[in-house]
Structure 1
Amino acid sequence: MKSKAAIGARGGSRRGALELAARFTLPGTVAIALMFELLLAERKFAIFGGGFGQSRTLDTPVEIGIFLIALLLCQAMVFYLLFRFVRRLHGRQADTVRFHFNFLFFVLLGWCGALIAKYQALAYFSDAMSFQIIRNLGGGSLIDALLYVLSETGLILLVIGGAALFYWICNALFLRRMAKEPPFPDRAIMTRRELTLALIVLPLLLFGANRIDDTRSALVRFNAVLLWATPLHQLTDFDRDGWSFYSHPIDRQPFDSTLHPYALDVPGNGIDEDGFGGDLSFTAPPPETAPVIAGARAHVILIVLESARHDVVGRIVDDRELMPTVNRIAATGSQAEAAYSHVGFTSFSLKSLFTGRLDPAPGGPSLVGDFLANGYEVGIFSGQSEDFGGIAETVGMRRASHFVDANTLREERAFSFAAEGSLYVDGRIVLREFDRHLGDPESWRTPQFLYFNFQSAHFPYHAPGREWLLEGEPIARGDISFANRDRVRRNYWNAMAYNDLLVAELLERLDRLGVREDSLIVITSDHGQSLFEDGFLGHGHMLNEEQTRIPFIIDRPGIAIGRPVGLANMRAIILRAAGADVPTPQQTEVFQYLGTLEQPGRIGTVDGNARWTVFDLSRQAVRVDDGPWRRYADLPARSAIRQETDGLIDRWAHQRWLGVLERRDVQMAD
């Protein structure tokens, strides 16, 4: 028999090991949860490595250092408060084995489970997009994410059941047997003085980190940071205008709700609400008259090539024309020398293309209504969901005689993602539906306005079953990175070559139907695409040539297009080319913005010579081309750059007021 001393020694050793483990319950939980979230965030958002949809990357020691310190402090404080809360809930069992086990089981597993649910919902949107970026893209919805998670109810219940079984087994095997163990010594992890100091330092640290663009962009990905930043924002939004000491940009007029950088300047009231350039001068334009197409009415075929850059036209790859069909149309027809999107997001761009407005109201004038009013039938044939971001509702697509999009063809999507913004249907399926709806020559006795949207060049630029037309082979989605940028570009060039093939097949169908000669073909894009030339992959985050310059081609020679031309100008140009007596847009620059028109990160103009003037509302600074940033407050009052900046800000307010007036007119008409 073992001696009592040996049994006591073994019990003491076990007790010592448990006590040592208990000391690491809180720091161990913080470390595990933090590493788990960092891995998820890096895989999803590439905050250190960069990737599609990620314009902010932690790549300097200062950015990384402040990011890690702020994140660690926020995470530690959240878990410390949870630790004290759970300890209080355990009452007499505080500091026992059961308390430490329950903290690890419920807090750590619950936290990680919430992270998995969050990133599963984000994966539903695909393309490395956060909820905020999805909103900026125009069609994202938190409800979509919730519905996705709810659709996985069976799996969730299975996981919860497994966790409950695991807890029951642990309780039966050792928690009950250790119920009589005395509690561990209560070693305060923080003194009250240390806790007070941490609660003072944390807001100051977050305030400083919020002033560093890349650091702020990375921190908002993390739940613990949001748990601290959200109440700090609410507490310092003194005038309740949505801006505070913790918003971006900061509210420099914290006690006046009418004054902040995104305030809409009311013209003629003597108050400079946005703080730039004085009181706004604005004159409402005359009411728009309905365009009338005179003479023989040609069929009009509008083709939008997703993410097509301007330089795909005429490009040579592997000693062959990348887009021979489009090149021929451009050579014999009319082509814009300088065409641009106003913003790098699909839904906003398509609304502008159809309506001629940057901020159109649902039910207002659009190409759909224009052609319907002139006796046309309208057909929508799209490889994306036209409900994404409210495109169909805004421009009236549901009034079409033929409506086919990725939502109606949901079961034939190329990828498993089922959110509105992720649906993609191959162009050949779209052409098949065109055959089904309009493959009979009798259908063409009435003039047709048709809209085709080919999604081939949407990220990741290649889809299962698509033809590979170039040399080599496609790169897998998981291998897309800066290191593989040459292969990524080949994916994109191949997608554009495939688009050209689709255009050729559409034209062949029009020839067979005998309507090609009576059709006006228009080809354009919603925005461009950076392919790492500027260190970025994607669109919607920079005002530059790669992301905003697009093709605009009409297959009729002699069409007056102008230089430059924006997507919002194309409605008038298309109507004029079709025979309507509408004025040709006359302008010297195209207005652009990043984000949303109401709250852009930057606004800018680009002229026909690709000269950009950009104003950053967060920095409150202006830059011309690649020149230095100059603070607005430092610009001489009567200098050319000050006047140009004030004019740019007034153009932004002008566009917002046009949207306000149109929404008012639509409401009055209803």
Structure 2
Amino acid sequence: MIKLNHRRLMAAAAATLALLELGLLEIKFQIMSGGGFLQSAPLVSLSSRVVFALYFLTSFIALFWGWAKLYRAVALRIGQSPLRADFTSGTLFVACYGLSLLLTFQLHKYLADHVDATVVRAIAGDSLQTAVAYASDELVLLLLPVLLVLALFVWLYRRVEVSFRKPRRSSKWPLVGFVAFLVAFVGLEASSNWPLKLNLSRSLSYGAVRTVAHIIVDVDGDGSSFFTTPEDPAPFNSAIHWGAVDIPANGVDENGLGGDLPSGTLDNTLVDSRALPVPYKHLVVIVGESTRADVIGKTLDGKLVAPNLTNLAAEGSSLQRAYSHSGFTYNSLLTLFSGRFTYQEGTPSLFDKAKAAGMQISVISGQDETWGGLDTELNTRKNADFFYDPQEDPEKRVFPSKLPSSIKLAGETLVEAFDRRLQGLDWSTRQLFYVNLQAGHFPYSHKLMRPRFVDEAIPRGEIGPDNTRWLRDTYWNSMSYMDQNVGKLIAGLKQAGVWDETLVIFLGDHGESLFHDGSLGHGQSINDQQLRIPVVMSAMGMNFVAPVGLSDVSGWLFSFVENPEQAFEKRGKCVLMYTGFFYGPAQLGQACTEREGLDVYTVRQKAFISQSGASEEAKLELIHNWERNLYKMAQPTELKPLQE
């Protein structure tokens, strides 16, 4: 057997990992060289950078030492020799930390500054496994180095006789150093040095230490503590914590935000009401994945990107200020078809209402409708008379993956299914069509898209801030492709002779940031790029001027299904928006009738900005709007629209 000084080997491997992470942090956030891409809290002084490096290295050493001590204690109990235990614990630490490092920074390629695991899961329909696949179809490539490390470990374990040159006596200094680090760690967490804490939280080791500390001190078990952001306002009272439902006017601030919620209900002010110009009979709802509001009228090189949608807006109606409440597909579709921000069993969906009203239902979707459990929560498959999604025809998918996050059908495939369904329908019966087009899904191209506004679609591996122009042209090319298929859907209705009696509504589930705000994708920040969407109707005179959200559109769809002659009402002066989970958002925002732009409150940074001028009154109005909606969502199932 080969003799090996395992302590030196493990120390070298751990040091390499630490340096690698420092390098990745610098490349991603330019922590040492100054504020860069996605960097909202730069370390501006030399002393702050030195302190950052010291905390990072000591947290890494503390994590390594703590892991080794715990593993050794367990290994000795099961009969493993001390030397083998040390060798095994070190190898497993390097492998696990290395895998976590690779996955974390692969996800960070596409995520914004305040995004955490909560937001990542929400992007992927509340599945962390799917979130990883969503952000990285190269998962196999990421696992390859880890598999090589594990293979090397097995080889070494069988062939190496672990040893070290001199026996070492137990020393108290590692324990003293560990305690000193914990004291410094608690001191930093108690300080107001937000830039240092934010940048350290981006490292795996410091974040892991913080997580362990949180688990230890969360004595009331409410998931909130001194080490969470925001911190627990009542560490020994499980009824008071971040994400708790604030009960109006009970004298208690259950979530520690904005004080006790004043008495009152959701704003139910009637802002606008518009009647459909003709008695439409049928309804076609077309949802475009990641479709931005500025697709209407957008030109490149003097050519309209979406002439069919632009013409539909000109001949019918187009909403000026329409927003998705959340930049996540799952949340957006749930709100659109149920009227709620969160799922609650027993809440009827649009498809339940349509079936009860005697309508025939056709669902034709380019995405897997099991995504996030939507098909069961909305009862789409159960109620549909005709159902077609990638699981029904997986061989026609445009990407090789069969994961719910990645399996997609091309637009022309959906048009073919739509045309098949149109043939032989009994149009004396009211029809409801839901069509979901996936052209705008990352990476904004597939093998069936023809280049119109780009010579060649940007390869996935080339996507980054350095190729912003190429990326944006590729995205607009995908919008052009989607628009062509919208035109074919419209042509199919006209050919069937039912265009004049069919209300067509096209909308985006959310927008898309193409490095406009320093990030790529959606669900990360509250701004026009990620949350402003097109809402276009074939009916004339429905050009609402007030801000409208998907919950408002949901109310219109429910009204139309029950009675096509009901007017579409806009109630409430503001449209609420959020990132992350509704019960514990990373950001809150709203667009209001009397103000231009958006009001945004970033919870972790306790920062409020308003394009109309920040004020304490506007901040509290935003917070209380969310709290009232949260309170309503926590009540037993109601059959009323969300806005009351």
TM range (shorter): 0.7 to 0.9
| Contact 2:360/2:432 (8 A) holds in 1 | yes
How many Å apart are 1:74 and its aligned residue? 2.0
Q: What CA deviation, in whole Å up to 9, does each residue of 1:290-329 have, x standing for no partner?
A: xxx9996522111111111111100111211111111110
| Contact 1:562/1:586 (8 A) holds in 2 | no
| Contact 1:333/1:558 (8 A) holds in 2 | yes
| Contact 2:323/2:532 (8 A) holds in 1 | yes
| 1:250 to 2:231 alignment | yes
* Residue of structure 2 in register with 1:419 after alignment: 403
Q: Indicate the SS of the match to 1:256.
A: coil
| Contact 2:334/2:340 (8 A) holds in 1 | yes
1:588 maps to which of 569, 573, 584: 573
| Contact 1:360/1:662 (8 A) holds in 2 | no
| 1:212 to 2:189 alignment | no
| Contact 2:514/2:520 (8 A) holds in 1 | yes
* Residue of structure 1 in register with 2:602 after alignment: 616
| 1:488 to 2:471 alignment | yes
- Structure 1 window deviating more from structure 2 (657-666 vs 238-247): it is 657-666
Alignment of 1:335-346 (within 5 A): 335-346=318-329
How many Å apart are 1:260 and its aligned residue? 3.5
How many Å apart are 1:626 and its aligned residue? 7.4
In 2: Cα distance, 1:476 partner to 1:449 partner: 38
* Residue of structure 1 in register with 2:387 after alignment: 403
| 1:386 to 2:375 alignment | no
Alignment of 1:90-109 (within 5 A): 99=83, 103-104=86-87, 107-108=90-91
In 2: Cα distance, 1:351 partner to 1:552 partner: 17
How many Å apart are 1:350 and its aligned residue? 1.2
Alignment of 1:127-276 (within 5 A): 131-137=117-123, 139-142=125-128, 162-163=151-152, 166-167=155-156, 170-171=159-160, 175=161, 183-184=166-167, 190-205=173-188, 212=194, 216=198, 219=201, 222=204, 224-275=205-256, 276=258
Residue identity (%):
26
Q: What CA deviation, in whole Å up to 9, does each residue of 1:517-537 have, x standing for no partner?
A: 332111111111122222222
Q: Indicate the SS of the match to 2:601.
A: strand
Q: What CA deviation, in whole Å up to 9, does each residue of 1:276-302 have, x standing for no partner?
A: 24443134899xxxxxx9996522111
Letter in 1 for 2:404: E
Q: Indicate the SS of the match to 2:600.
A: strand
Letter in 2 for 1:611: G
Q: Aligned pair in 2 of structure 1 residues 84, 644: CA closer, same or farther (>3 Å)?
A: closer
Q: Aligned pair in 2 of structure 1 residues 610, 345: CA closer, same or farther (>3 Å)?
A: farther
Q: Aligned pair in 2 of structure 1 residues 624, 41: CA closer, same or farther (>3 Å)?
A: closer
* Residue of structure 2 in register with 1:298 after alignment: 281
| Contact 1:303/1:523 (8 A) holds in 2 | yes
Q: Aligned pair in 2 of structure 1 residues 77, 323: CA closer, same or farther (>3 Å)?
A: same
Q: Aligned pair in 2 of structure 1 residues 465, 75: CA closer, same or farther (>3 Å)?
A: same
Q: What CA deviation, in whole Å up to 9, does each residue of 1:367-414 have, x standing for no partner?
A: 222322222111111112222223223322122112222343444333
| Contact 1:427/1:454 (8 A) holds in 2 | yes
Q: Aligned pair in 2 of structure 1 residues 82, 158: CA closer, same or farther (>3 Å)?
A: closer
1:572 maps to which of 530, 549, 555: 555
Q: Aligned pair in 2 of structure 1 residues 192, 358: CA closer, same or farther (>3 Å)?
A: closer
Q: Aligned pair in 2 of structure 1 residues 126, 442: CA closer, same or farther (>3 Å)?
A: farther
Alignment of 1:39-50 (within 5 A): 46=28
| 1:655 to 2:629 alignment | yes
Q: What CA deviation, in whole Å up to 9, does each residue of 1:175-203 have, x standing for no partner?
A: 3xx98x97455595945533432332244
| Contact 2:523/2:580 (8 A) holds in 1 | yes
| Contact 1:126/1:417 (8 A) holds in 2 | no
Q: Indicate the SS of the match to 1:646.
A: helix
Q: Indicate the SS of the match to 1:446.
A: coil
- Structure 1 window deviating more from structure 2 (212-221 vs 597-606): it is 212-221
In 2: Cα distance, 1:424 partner to 1:551 partner: 22
| Contact 1:341/1:549 (8 A) holds in 2 | yes
Q: Aligned pair in 2 of structure 1 residues 163, 57: CA closer, same or farther (>3 Å)?
A: farther
How many Å apart are 1:649 and its aligned residue? 2.1
| Contact 2:277/2:539 (8 A) holds in 1 | no
Letter in 2 for 1:523: F
| Contact 1:121/1:145 (8 A) holds in 2 | no
Q: Aligned pair in 2 of structure 1 residues 491, 48: CA closer, same or farther (>3 Å)?
A: farther
Q: What CA deviation, in whole Å up to 9, does each residue of 1:236-260 have, x standing for no partner?
A: 3243322111001112332333333
- Structure 1 window deviating more from structure 2 (498-507 vs 557-566): it is 557-566
How many Å apart are 1:228 and its aligned residue? 2.0
Letter in 2 for 1:612: L
| 1:282 to 2:267 alignment | no
* Residue of structure 2 in register with 1:453 after alignment: 436
| Contact 1:125/1:421 (8 A) holds in 2 | no
Alignment of 1:465-544 (within 5 A): 465-544=448-527
How many Å apart are 1:489 and its aligned residue? 0.6
Q: What CA deviation, in whole Å up to 9, does each residue of 1:575-605 have, x standing for no partner?
A: 5567242551233221112222211122222
| Contact 2:267/2:572 (8 A) holds in 1 | no
Q: Indicate the SS of the match to 1:442.
A: coil
Of structures 1 and 2, the larger Rg is shown by 1
Letter in 1 for 2:460: R
Higher helix share: 1
| 1:32 to 2:16 alignment | yes
Task: Output the TM-score relative to the length of structure 1.
Answer: 0.79
- Structure 1 window deviating more from structure 2 (510-519 vs 528-537): it is 510-519
Greater RCO, CA 8 A, separation 6+: 2
Q: Indicate the SS of the match to 2:570.
A: coil
* Residue of structure 2 in register with 1:637 after alignment: none
Cα RMSD between the aligned structures?
4.2
Q: What CA deviation, in whole Å up to 9, does each residue of 1:130-176 have, x standing for no partner?
A: 74333222513246689999999x999997994576236624xxx3x
Task: Output the TM-score relative to the length of structure 2.
Answer: 0.81
In 1: Cα distance, 2:38 partner to 2:146 partner: 37
